Structure 1
């Protein structure tokens, strides 16, 4: 009876996490424990401008990913030229901000930089925790990112992201 109970617990959802799946598979490469309402940022170095581009996200109550701000330093290839409807375009401290965004995604497809590999993941109450993607992913690798409830078994299969 105890063995059966332990087996069941092993496969029950245990924690909510930002999960990085290798390419188009269900293979967990890494995960970051998160809760609804928490925020995180993905920062990448633009391969032409060589400046940081910051995408700010929050975890929704229904475990989706909502982009609420986009920050960049230079206009050009791949950069927006203005804010969308209901959004606010602000220039502050040498950076352009598109604020009040509400783009909701079930998942994100992200490629770790190949030419200029300086992608970072930032999280924490004050945005004070950070890791370089290269600590967890190969240069040029791509993955699908989702917010999901992981079982103990799934947590063992992936690497927990820690600062």
Structure 2
């Protein structure tokens, strides 16, 4: 009888540990600098899109970088939108891309840049970075400053996270 209780306890403990520490949810994870410390995460799935919008520190206009989660859980940049040429802004499209001017904005479309991760900094001088996700008309947006200190930088990766990471991390939501 004592052996059965011990075995049952071990089995329950193993099930709990598995539930806690085996990755179960895909998320866009914001790792603080070059660490394994999760600062925040956005639950996301293959095929989902998201945007990072930042205010250009010289022109003070929005720059929009659009991304999609690939089947391999990498990040594919597919479009870039800005309003003014200048420092840090591309002047034309690369091979296979298209350069379009519409409604006062420049678009570089059909981009095929795939990244395992992206390094990003929350603006310090002009701290107006935003994260947008979802499909129109139900897009959701949050300001980086709601979650991160101005000037902080992060490594973004699409990864599967465990229930433990999910519970101890900061879930980005509208």
Deviations 1:89-140 (A, max 9, x none): 0000000000000100000000000000000000012261000000000000
Question: Equivalences for 1:12-161 in 2 at 5 Å?
Answer: 12-126=22-136, 128-161=139-172
Q: Which has the larger radius of gyration?
A: 2
Deviations 1:7-53 (A, max 9, x none): 11111111000000001100000000000000000000000000000
Aligned mates of 1:125, 1:95 — CA distance in 2 = 21
Q: How many residues align?
A: 163
Higher strand share: 1
Give structure 1 regions of 4+ aligned residues with deviation exceeding 4 angstroms. Answer: none
Query: TM-score, normalised on structure 2?
Result: 0.92
Across the aligned residues of Structure 1 and Structure 2, the Cα RMSD in angstroms comes to 0.8
Aligned mates of 2:99, 2:14 — CA distance in 1 = 56
Higher helix share: 2
Aligned mates of 1:58, 1:141 — CA distance in 2 = 24
Aligned mates of 1:71, 1:8 — CA distance in 2 = 43
Structure 2, unaligned stretches of length 5 or more? 1-10
Query: TM-score, normalised on structure 1?
Result: 0.98
Structure 1, unaligned stretches of length 5 or more? none
Cα deviation, residue 77, structure 1: 0.1
